[in-house]
Chains A and B, each alone.
Chain A
Amino acid sequence: MSSIPQQAGSLTLEDVRTLLHAVADPEIPVLSIMDLGIVRDVVLEPDGVEVHVSPTYTGCPATEVIEQMIVSKLQRNGVERVTIKRVLSPPWTTEWLSETGRQKLRRYGIAPPEHAAGKRSLLGRSAVHCPRCSTERTTQVSEFGSTPCKASYKCDECLEPFEYFKCI
C-alpha cells in the first residue's frame, strides 16, 4: 500500500525500533522499554512517528518519564513530530517481557516473573528462583517493593536479599 510512508524523515521503521531499544526503563535501567514489552506499536506517518505505549501499572510514576524519553530520543535523531498514544487495552502483562529482558533482569539481580502470568500465578504461590544462586529455596519478605512492579524476597541458601518482578 503506497499510502503508508516507508520513512519518517531519514529513518525507516527498523531504525526507529533500534532507537527505542536504546531507551532504558528509568527505574530498572538495565531493561529497555522494548525488553519490557510496553511498546505496542510504531506507526510511521508522513511527518513523524506515532508510538503506542502501555503503562505497566496505572500509577507508575515512570510512565510519563518514559514517554518524554521516547519523544526526546526520536527528536534528537531527526524525527520532527513524535506522538505518544497510551494504550490501556489489552492491559500490559509480564508475559510481554522479552526473553532477553528476563536474562538481563536475572544478571542485574532481580528475579524475573514466573511464566503463565494471570490470575492464578498472581494470586497463587509459585516458586521464585534466587537470581544469584538459582535455588528455589527462597522466602517472600514483602509482597511489595521499591516500585509497583516488584516484591521483596530473600534467598535461604546464599542469604542474599533480592527483588522479584511480580507477575501481573
Chain B
Amino acid sequence: MALRTFSAMDSNDARFNYVLRLGDNALVLGQRLSELVTRAPELEEELATANFALDYIGQARLFYSYAGELEARGRGEDDFAYLRDEREFRNLLLVEQPNGHFGDTIVRQFLFESFYVLQLEALTDCSDARIAEVAARAVKEIRYHLRHVSQWLVRLGDGTAESHARVQQSLDDQWRLTGEMFAGDEVDETFRLNWNGPQLEQLEADWSSRVDAVLAEATLTRPPAQWMAGGGRQGRHSEHLGYLVAEMQFLQRAYPGARW
C-alpha cells in the first residue's frame, strides 16, 4: 500500500492500520518469545517467557479480529497472521530482533514493554470503545511482565562485572531501535485526531523518565542520543523478520487452508 499524504489519509484507513500495527507488534513478539520454549536459561524463565508469549498471541488475536472487521473485506485473524508476506507486516523493528543471549532478550523486552504499557494506558482513554477495552485488559498483563523484566535488568546490570558488561552491550546494541516507537506518521496523527489516540511526544517523555529510573537502579548507562533506525511500521524490516515469518507460516504455506 502506497503511503498517502496526511491530508488524504482516510480516517477509517488510519484506524485499520493503527490496529494492525498493534496486532503485528504483539504477534511478532509472541512468536519470538515462543522460540524460548525448551531453551530458556532456567525453568522459571521458560515459564515466564512462555506466559508472555501466550499473552501476546492472545492480544494479537483481539487486534486482528477487530482489524478484519474495520477492513470489511472478509479477512480474519488467521489471514493476517499466516497469509501476509514480510513486507506487509507493520511491527516495530525492535520486536523482530532475535532473542540473542538472555540479556538481549531482557533488554528488548524492557525497552518495548516500557513503551507498550504507556501506549496501552493512553489507549484506554481513546474514543474507540473496542480498542479501549482490549487495552484495559492487555495493560494488566503487560504491567506484570514489565515488573518481571525490570527486576531482571537490575539483577543483571547490578550483578557481576560480566553480567553488567554484557547487558550494557545489549542496551547499546538495541538503543537505535527505540526511536521508531515515537516517530509518528499520518496513521498515528489521524488516529490521534479522530479517536483521541496517544500523544507520541508525551509517551516519549514518560518512557524516557521511566527507563532512566530503572537504568539508574541497574547501574547501567543510558546510550547517547544517536541515529535511529526506522521503517518497520511502514513494512521495511530487518533481515530477521523474513525468517520468523517463514517458520511461523510454514504449515499454511505448505498445506493451504489446513485447519486445526
- Interface class of chain A by DSSP: loop
Q: Is the pair A89, B51 in contact by a Cβ cutoff of 8 Å? A: no
* Count of chain A to chain B residue pairs whose CB atoms are closer than 8 Å in the complex: 75
A144 to chain B, nearest CB (A): 4
Smallest CB separation, A65 vs chain B (Å): 13
A150 to B232, CA, bound (A): 35
Map CB proximity to A onto B98-126 as digits: 1 under 8 Å, 0 otherwise: 00000000000000000000000000000
Interface assignment of A4: CB less than 8 Å from any CB of chain B:
no
Q: Which of B44, B134, B141 contacts A88 (CB 8 A)?
A: B134
Is the CB–CB distance between B47 and A142 below 8 Å? yes
B138 within 8 A of A: yes
Chain A residue at smallest Cβ distance from B62: A58
Q: Indicate whether A123 sits within 8 Å of B143 (C-beta atoms), given known contacts A58-B55, A58-B59.
A: yes
Verify A59–B57 contact, CB threshold 8 A. Answer: yes
Best-buried of B48, B53, B137, B148 by chain A (most CB within 10 Å): B137
Interface of B is mostly: helix
Specify which chain A residues have a CB less than 8 angstroms from the CB of B58 in the assembled complex.
Answer: 55, 57-60
A69-92 to B contact mask, C-beta < 8 Å, 1/0: 000000000000000000011111
Q: Are B143 and A59 in contact (CB under 8 A)?
A: no
- B140 contacts chain A at the CB level, 8 A cutoff: yes
**Chain A residues closer than 8 Å to B83, beta-carbon distance:** none
Q: In the assembled complex, how far is the CB of residue B189 from the closest CB belonging to chain A, in whole angstroms?
A: 27
Restricting to B131-147, which residues have a CB under 8 Å from any CB of A? 132-134, 136-138, 140-141, 143-144, 147
Contact B48 A142 (CB under 8 A): yes
CB nearest neighbor in A for B147: A123
Q: Which residue of B lies closest to A142 (CB)?
A: B44
Known: A59-B59, A143-B144, A143-B148. A91 touches B137 (CB 8 A): yes
- Which residues of chain B are within 8 angstroms of A166 by Cβ–Cβ distance? 144
State how many residues of chain B have any CB contact under 8 Å with chain A.
28
Q: Please, which residues of chain B bring their CB within 8 A of the CB of A168? A: 140-141, 144
Residues of A within 8 A of B138 (CB): 58
**Does B70 count as interface, using CB distance less than 8 angstroms?**
no
Q: Are B54 and A59 in contact (CB under 8 A)?
A: yes
Partner of B47, one of A57, A91, A123, A144: A144
Q: Is the CB of B133 within 8 A of A88?
A: yes
Residues of A in contact with B, size category = 20 to 34
8 Å CB contact of A122 from B47, B57, B140: B140
Write the nearest CB–CB distance from B25 to chain A, whole angstroms.
14
A89 close to B133 (CB less than 8 A): yes
Report yes or no: B136 in contact with A148, Cβ–Cβ below 8 A: no
Q: Is the CB of B51 within 8 A of A148?
A: yes
**For window 145-160 of chain A, which residues contact chain B by CB distance below 8 Å?**
145-146, 148, 152
B50 to chain A, nearest CB (A): 8
* A119 contacts across to B, CB distance below 8 A: 143
**Which residues of the partner chain B approach A144 to less than 8 Å between Cβ atoms?**
44, 47-48, 50-51, 148
| A46 interface hit (Cβ, 8 Å) | no
B136 contact from A91, A141, A146, Cβ within 8 A: A91
Q: Give me the interface of B with A, judged by CB distance under 8 Å.
A: 43-44, 47-48, 50-51, 53-59, 61-62, 129, 132-134, 136-138, 140-141, 143-144, 147-148
19 A-B pairs in the complex with CB atoms less than 8 angstroms apart = A57-B54, A58-B58, A58-B59, A58-B62, A59-B57, A59-B59, A59-B61, A60-B58, A88-B134, A88-B136, A91-B133, A91-B136, A142-B43, A144-B44, A144-B47, A145-B47, A148-B51, A148-B55, A152-B44
